[in-house]
Structure 1
Amino acid sequence: MSNPLSLRQLEYLVAVAETGQISRAALRCNVSQSSMTIALKKTRAHTRLQATDSTC
């Protein structure tokens, strides 16, 4: 059984969903865009989510 998503990972996913852009989500979460992208890649790999937009 895999570990559940962390609160931070969920926060990043929600921020991207609400803003529609990784750069705006990163600003909202007070992290760099590259940090946000790396975190989202790890989250996607962990959850096996497939983004419709391959920006991350």
Structure 2
Amino acid sequence: MPAKVNPDLCTACGTCVDECPVGAIELNDVAVVNEDVCTECGTCVDVCPNDAITIE
């Protein structure tokens, strides 16, 4: 499954956007993952300072 963002924990800091190797994340009020582009690599999970992103 693609990465999921918990909007209660996301502060829209942009770290995941900067680090995503395939450009699957953009910022609105919170980070939003494009599920069609996400490769489930886990980079966003590793770099999120708020533990707001998970991959199941």
Q: TM-score range by the shorter chain?
A: under 0.3
**Structure possessing the higher relative contact order (Cα contacts under 8 Å, 6 or more residues apart):** 2
TM-score, normalization by structure 1 = 0.28
Bigger helix fraction: 1
Which of these two proteins has the greater Rg computed from alpha carbons? 1
